Amino acid sequence: MPQELREGDKAPDFSLPSSTGKDVKLSELRGKNVVLYFYPKDDTPGCTKEACSFRDSLPKFGAVDAVVLGVSRDSLESHAEFIKKYGLNFVLVSDEGLEANKLYGTWVEKENYGKKYWGTERSTFVIGKDGKIKKVFRKVKVDGHEQEVLEALA
């Protein structure tokens, strides 16, 4: 099990396919603030609500020189449908092999109605222009989350 990431740690680098058709390499975003949010599944109620709140607030993120990246295990095809259906205006990253999920410690054992299974813990990492983690949000509650993230960037 990797060490849990904390504020002040260097954000682990990864290179993964994205909805733009190009791979996203985190280290290439240095010089910008990055909102890296991990979510369980495209087009499910909580994930849709979270994505739409980032979509609606994107101009505010742009104003603080921040890039929003959504990460899930879904395929690029699934991401393309999700983006089209909800008019999402930011990049979604496909982490089918769980590379980023494991680097960031978001692939966790969960329990639902007494049944244990592995899945993505809804988490957000705010990464500063220097490539260091400014803020970590674990077990994110969707309502008002984009506002918390904006405050962490302020």
From 11, 24, 47, 68, active-site residue: 47
CATH number at residue 67: 3.40.30.10
Q: How many CA atoms lie within 13 A of 126 on its CB side?
A: 19
Residue 138 structural domain: 32-153
pLDDT at 62 over 80: yes
What pTM does this model have?
0.95
Residue 12 domain-assigned?
Answer: no
Report yes or no on 6 lying in a domain. no
Q: Which residue has the tokens 């957000």?
A: 124
Q: Which residues contact 108 (CB under 8 A, 6 or more apart)?
A: 118, 119, 120, 121
SS3 59: helix
Number of structural domains (the chain) is: 1
Q: Is residue 7 part of a domain?
A: no
Which of 79, 86, 22 has the alpha carbon at shortest distance from 55?
A: 86
Alpha helices in 75-131 (DSSP H): 76-86, 99-103
Q: What is the pLDDT of residues 76-134, one digit of tens each?
A: 999 999 999 999 999 999 999 999 999 999 999 999 899 999 999 999 999 999 999 99
- 47 has catalytic annotation: yes
